[in-house]
Amino acid sequence: MAQIYEANRSVCKYVHSTSRGHEAIQLAAAFQLLPCDYVSPYYRDESLLLGLGFTPYQLMLQLLAKADDPFTGGREYYSHPNYRGPDKPGIIHQSSATGMQVIPTTGIAQGIQYLEAHLAGRLQKGPNGDLPVVVCSLGDASMTEGEVSEAFQVAILKKLPIIYLVQDNGWGISVSAEEARVMDAYEYAGGFPGMERVRIDGSNFEESFDNMRRVVQYVRQHRTPYLVQAKVPLLGHHTSGVRKEFYRTAADLEKHLADDPVPRLRQQLICKGITEAQLQSIEQEAAALVAGHFSQAIQAPEPDIATVGDFVFAPTPVQEEKGQRNDSSLSSNTSGKIVMVDAALFAIREIMEDHPEAILYGQDVGRRLGGVFREAATLAEQFGDHRVFNTAIQEAYIIGSTVGMSAVGLKPIVEVQFADYIYPGFNQLVTEISKSCYLSCGKYPVQTVIRVPIGAYGGGGPYHSGSVETTLLSIKGLKIAYPSNAADMKGLMKAAFLDPNPVIMLEHKGLYWSKVPGTEDAKTLEPSRDYILPLGKGNIVLKASEDAINRGESCCIITYGMGVYWAKAAALHFPGQVEVVDLRTLYPLDEELVFSTVSKHGKCLVLTEEQQQNSFAEALAGRISRHCFRYLDAPVEITGTINIPAIPMNIHLEQAAMPDPEKVKTAISRLLLF
The 3-state secondary structure of 409-439, one letter per residue: CCEEEEECCCHHHCHHHHHHHHHHHHHHHHH
Whole-model pTM: value is 0.95
pLDDT at 255 over 60: yes
362: CB partners within 8 A, 6+ apart:
371, 390, 391, 398, 414, 415, 416, 417, 451
pLDDT over 70 percentage in the chain: 99
Q: Which regions of 179-271 does DSSP assign to beta strands (E)?
A: 196-201, 226-231
On whether the CB atoms of residues 258 and 48 are closer than 8 A, the answer is no
Band the pLDDT of 212: cuts 50, 70, 90: very high
Give the pLDDT mean for 565-575: 98
Question: Distances in Å between the alpha carbon of 277 and those of 270, 283, 322, 338?
Answer: 10, 10, 73, 82
Query: Residue 520: phi, psi to the nearest 5?
Result: -60, -30
Query: Residue 600: phi, psi to the nearest 5?
Result: -70, -35
Q: How does DSSP classify residue 91? A: B
Q: How does DSSP classify residue 442? A: T
Give the pLDDT mean for 572-592: 98
Res 173: pLDDT: 82
pLDDT tens digits along 463-491: 999 999 999 999 999 999 999 999 999 99
Q: How does DSSP classify residue 159? A: T
Q: Kindly state the helix (H) or strand (E) to which residue 606 belongs, with its residue range.
A: strand 604-611
Pairwise CA distance, residues 330 & 326, whole Å: 9
Q: What is the amino acid identity at position 438?
A: Y
Res 331: pLDDT: 54
Which residue did the predictor score with more confidence, 373 or 255? 255
Pairwise CA distance, residues 578 & 594, whole Å: 14
Give the pLDDT mean for 403-423: 96
470: CB partners within 8 A, 6+ apart:
610, 614, 615, 616, 619
pLDDT tens digits along 357-372: 999 999 988 887 777 7
Task: Tell me what the pLDDT averaged over the chain comes to.
Answer: 95
Band the pLDDT of 602: cuts 50, 70, 90: very high
Give the pLDDT mean for 529-536: 97
The CB density around residue 290, as the number of other CB atoms within 10 Å, is 18
Helices (H), 477-532: 486-498
Res 484: pLDDT: 98
Looking at 16, 237, 293, 464, which residue is catalytic? 464
Active site residue 118: no
Res 332: pLDDT: 52
Res 369: pLDDT: 79
